A and B are shown apart, each in its own frame.
Chain A
């Protein structure tokens, strides 16, 4: 395909190549901040610290009963709740996550969320995570037809349920994981979430909850 911009660039680089260009892949390990061989508990510990420092709340729970109790504590009465990634959560929890919700809340099933007035009226979005990154205290969501990532943006509060084996140490471990996944399934977009929505655009004063949720609760299931 003929493209004048690419042709021009190619021509320029031919006449005037970059000198002494080192291959960054050879020294990419220099970019690592967290050792790959951290033990599971070390990764979980670091992840929790960093997530808390960027404004998330982290809860360590043992079993489904504890999860049920924690949800009852976070979710106060009458809240409108959606669950994304419910099938995966169900498999991992061996229990329907909707059944763990407190009875006083209103569960909004996924099919209703096509309606903007429902989507934009959520109090709480519960999601699973695709991965988590200890270095930055972030969780990663992947796009999915049955899994609208948007609930975790429109809701006032976001609850993520995570397992320790999903936590990778460094951003570089995240990218190599992604590399493999993209090769097998290229049709995903990803969102890295590292805390509640925030701004400091007015006189550098920090305000939480601008467009996205003002609260991010990360529940780590350490069974």
Chain B
């Protein structure tokens, strides 16, 4: 029997869901248009991409000293630094900070790293409630969904879906329009901002030289969680650092433009430790490894440059059809296809790099020039070297390779293909095939191969074949 996994089956069912791909297409097209429009201001975009790449590589090339410098500065400013090697450790540190301070309710701004480590569930099991405060994250938390896009987490839901969720979960009785729904969420979450004793956010960038870090939001929830409660905890991946505050300026220019087509997000917070009366009295920061140090040692270290803008998701023809939900982790699209096998292990995500047409659009738009398509191809190679393919793949690939290397076998195979398909065809088209080849005819008709191949026609006539 053909051995496939959940990811494979889900790609098929997601492709069948026309309403999902329609939603994704229109939303992501808009995101791309906004990015292209605002990026014109950059003039020579290549220059900026090269500079941003150099800034990220510079920090990664001396990551040990950047982190040492950063943590020393931050500690000087009164920040409690915690190191976590695994998700589990990061979750435990968070729970301990909450429990030591008798916190049972936490407000959190949107953060992919907390999704990565499964923080909400962990804290829930410890009877600590986490309230998502980014509107999109709030909606999917109520619905118990995963984010479907790293920047636009609720992009898979319609206004009617959100209305229904709000009716069921927070007793909403207003009209089904985004404006009224947003007002309702504002009202609900304001009470939480008032009462919560602890706030959590991710970290967009940390700056080594000045010992500060940034949170970027459009809604203002990042300001709330880092400014209002007595205790504020930031959680950062250890690679999210730059050496100097000038470097931060350049990356902020890139992040806003590439993520949402803005010059900069509406609110950018530069957190610099506790501040009596105008900020939290206790500031913590967890620096997480969770496999990143292994990536740094691998041939895939370039992926650590990623600034999580989501531009690669927006242009990806596969992502536009399948969305982010079916990926076996919180990251999705091209960057997720590289990160997930590295973070989760190839065994758990071996089919993810296969969901790619290798069109290379992701690499073209990446603000820090990560060669995503090359990495995806290389990961497929790794999976095949590790003999992870199914039995069919194992049998068919060596045969395919043999056939394609021999002109005689190749032309014979072409002839056999026509012979085999002829009885199943009608006026030059095959509409049905059994078993595995049937996956093709399920979605589109297959043209019957021509009687004479292009090559043989050229040989016979000395020029290309004429239309018949």
Contact = CB atoms under 8 A, between A and B. Distances in A.
A17 B246 CA distance: 24
Interface string B217-251: 01111011001100000000010000111111110
Interface of B: 23, 26-27, 30, 41-43, 47-48, 50-51, 54-55, 57-58, 60-64, 67-68, 76-77, 83, 85, 133-136, 139, 152-155, 157-159, 162, 178-179, 181-182, 185-186, 189-190, 193-194, 210-212, 218-221, 223-224, 227-228, 238, 243-250, 252-253, 262-273, 275-279, 287, 289, 293, 296-297
Given A5-B238, A148-B277, 9 more contacts: A5-B289, A24-B55, A27-B54, A149-B227, A191-B223, A192-B269, A202-B139, A202-B157, A204-B26
B262 A145 contact: no
Most buried by B among A148, A193, A199, A205: A199
B263 A204 contact: no
A54 to B, nearest CB: 7
Contacts of A137: 263
Contact of A13 (B63, B83, B194, B238): B63
Nearest to A113: B277
A33 B219 contact: no
A180 B186 CA distance: 38
A153 B266 CA distance: 12
Interface residues of A, number: 75
A28 to B, nearest CB: 5
B77 A187 contact: yes
Contact of A211 (B139, B181, B186): B186
Given A9-B63, A193-B267, A175 B186 contact: no
Interface string A1-45: 001111011101101111001111101101101000000000000
Given A178-B245, A207-B182, A21 B61 contact: yes
A215 interface: no
A18 B57 contact: yes
Nearest to A26: B54
12 contacts: A6-B68, A18-B61, A182-B272, A189-B270, A189-B278, A191-B267, A199-B219, A201-B154, A202-B139, A204-B30, A204-B152, A205-B179
A201 B64 contact: no
B64 A9 contact: yes
B275 A187 contact: yes
B153 A24 contact: no
A202 B86 CA distance: 34
B272 A210 contact: no
Given A192-B264, A204-B27, A5 B83 contact: yes
B220 A210 contact: yes
Contact of A172 (B54, B153, B210, B246): B246
Most buried by B among A136, A202, A203, A207: A202
A143 to B, nearest CB: 5
Contact of B270 (A6, A22, A138, A192): A192
Contacts of B133: 211
Nearest to B252: A171
Contacts of A197: 218-220, 266-267
A69 to B, nearest CB: 29
Interface centre among A13, A144, A147 (most CB of B within 10 A): A13
A18 B60 contact: yes
Given A136-B263, A171-B252, A211-B186, A143 B275 contact: yes
Contact of B293 (A12, A55, A207): A12
A136 B249 CA distance: 11
A191 B23 CA distance: 34
